[in-house]
Amino acid sequence: MKIKIVGFVLVIGLLVNPMLWAAQQQVTLKVEGMTCGMCPLTVKSSLKAVKCVSKAEISLAEQTAKVRFDDAQCQVEELIEATTRAGYPSRLKETS
């Protein structure tokens, strides 16, 4: 009986709290055109400006951007668009 109640409360909690539905996803983008130490900062801020992004780690050496975002709020295409608009065209390298 007690377990049933706990289960019921959990289900209601899931239904009323959309935050629990949010799915974090991490992708690696291959970013082109980064040539100096300032470039990764520009790429990072362009990604952070996208509302669904919670974390962006840019590697100048590897020419990549590891991005954590909420895929309930936006798609990878928006991330690619953001870096491209900032002057650094990117494409999806891997999903994890």
User: Of 6, 9, 22, 38, which one interacts with Cu ion (CB under 5 A)?
Assistant: 38
Q: Are 69 and 53 in contact (CB under 8 A)?
A: yes
User: In the complex with Cu ion, which residue's Cβ is closer, 34 or 79?
Assistant: 34
- The set of residues, in sequence order, having a beta carbon less than 8 Å from that of 85 and lying 6+ positions away, is 46
Give the range of 2-10, 30-38, 46-54, 82-90 binding Cu ion by CB under 5 A: 30-38
With CB under 5 A as the contact rule, which of the stretches 21-29, 36-44, 52-60, 77-85 interacts with Cu ion?
36-44
Q: Does 36 bind Cu ion (CB under 5 A)?
A: yes
Nearest Cα to 66, choosing from 93, 39, 88?
A: 93
Q: Does 80 bind Cu ion (CB under 5 A)?
A: no
Reference 58, options 50, 47, 49; nearest CA is 47
State in angstroms the smallest separation of the CB of 36 from Cu ion.
3
User: Other CB atoms closer than 10 Å to residue 45's CB: what's the count?
Assistant: 13
Kindly list the residues in this chain that would bind Cu ion in the complex (CB under 5 A). Answer: 35-36, 38-39
